[in-house]
């Protein structure tokens, strides 16, 4: 089977599962809500207006990760993967189609989310957002979409390795909500190359760590690439 019909079938799986659609819709809701709340509190010597505008991404990524995890984990329940591979024997092609079917909707939703968060966040900040340039605002909106997409792909790859949505979420959610916040003040250390810390540099007005906005996003892309590579290897080598 050619790649296009495989991709189409994977997209149909995602589109027809209400839980996946709901998870995708939760991304903009979480980002915009928490960005608006962050804009109401702009005090402090370390205030970063751009990151305040996109602060909700830290929570919206949880919805993006849950969406990707559920989309892959569904294949490992009830023998679904055996049926899929009977129709698409080339496992690498199937997994690539699954990754694209996850990445494209997250990217599209991420772009819409970035635009709405920018409008809501700057409105909430008021005059505090006047110092932001058009270039910084555009970088933040596009970076929001790219970051969410990369984190979703990271989750997809890890789920293919672990073959369990529960196991994947049990690793990623505590890491993002606890570990990352605990090491949040360790700028300039190895903590800067962790996937979320590195990728979120694209959302900062000024950076004080090891990485810049685009180099940080590149590090997150590397993490996602490694996870997808491991996932593809697992799909090819292990029994369905």
Q: Which of 1, 195, 191 minimizes the C-alpha distance to 91?
A: 1
Q: Report the distance separating Cα 141 and Cα 161, nearest Å.
A: 31
pLDDT above 70 covers a percentage of the chain that reads 90
Residues 6 or more apart whose CB falls under 8 angstroms from that of 222 comprise none
Q: Assess contact for 149 and 103: CB atoms under 8 A.
A: yes
- Give the pLDDT of residue 37: 85
- Give the pLDDT of residue 181: 66
Residues 6 or more apart whose CB falls under 8 angstroms from that of 226 comprise 157
Higher pLDDT, 172 or 85: 172
Question: Please, what is the average pLDDT of the chain?
Answer: 89
Q: Assess whether pLDDT exceeds 60 at residue 187.
A: no
DSSP 209: S
pLDDT in tens, 20-57: 999 999 999 999 999 888 777 666 656 788 989 999 99
Across 216-234, average pLDDT: 96
- Tokens 């569904």 belong to 74
- Tokens 């994947």 belong to 168
Q: Which of 225, 217, 97, 94 minimizes the C-alpha distance to 158?
A: 225
Give 191's pLDDT tier (boundaries 50, 70, 90): confident
Q: Report the distance separating Cα 165 and Cα 143, nearest Å.
A: 26
At residue 211, the 3 state secondary structure works out as coil
pTM: 0.93
Backbone angles phi, psi at 239, to 5 degrees: -65, 145
35-41, long-range: CB < 8 A, 24+ apart: 35/117, 35/120, 35/121, 35/124, 36/120, 36/121, 36/124, 37/124, 38/121, 38/124, 39/120, 39/121, 39/122, 39/123, 39/124, 39/125, 39/128, 40/124
Separation in Å, CA 110 to CA 15, 25, 32, 84, 103: 17, 10, 11, 29, 10
Does an H or E element contain 46, and which? Answer: none
């Amino acid at each position: 089977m050619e790649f296009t019909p495989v991709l189409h079938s994977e997209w149909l799986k995602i589109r027809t599962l209400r839980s996946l659609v709901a998870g995708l819709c939760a991304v903009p809701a979480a980002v915009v809500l928490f960005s608006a709340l962050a804009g109401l509190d702009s005090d402090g010597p370390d205030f970063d207006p751009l990151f305040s505008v996109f602060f909700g991404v830290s929570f919206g990524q949880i919805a993006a990760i849950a969406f990707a995890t559920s989309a892959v984990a569904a294949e490992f329940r009830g023998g679904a993967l055996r049926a899929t591979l009977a129709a698409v024997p080339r496992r690498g092609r199937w997994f690539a189609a699954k990754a694209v079917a996850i990445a494209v909707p997250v990217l599209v939703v991420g772009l819409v989310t970035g635009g709405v968060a920018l409008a809501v966040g700057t409105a909430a900040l008021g005059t505090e957002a006047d110092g932001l340039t058009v270039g910084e605002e555009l970088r933040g909106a596009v970076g929001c979409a790219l970051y969410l997409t990369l984190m979703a792909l990271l989750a997809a790859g890890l789920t293919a390795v672990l073959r369990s949505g529960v196991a994947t979420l049990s690793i990623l959610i505590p890491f993002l909500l606890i570990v990352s916040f605990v090491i949040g003040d360790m700028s300039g250390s190895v903590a800067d190359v962790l996937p979320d810390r590195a990728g979120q540099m694209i959302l900062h007005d000024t950076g004080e760590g090891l990485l810049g906005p685009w180099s940080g996003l590149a590090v997150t892309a590397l993490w996602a690439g490694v996870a997808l590579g491991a996932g593809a290897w697992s799909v090819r080598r292990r029994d369905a």
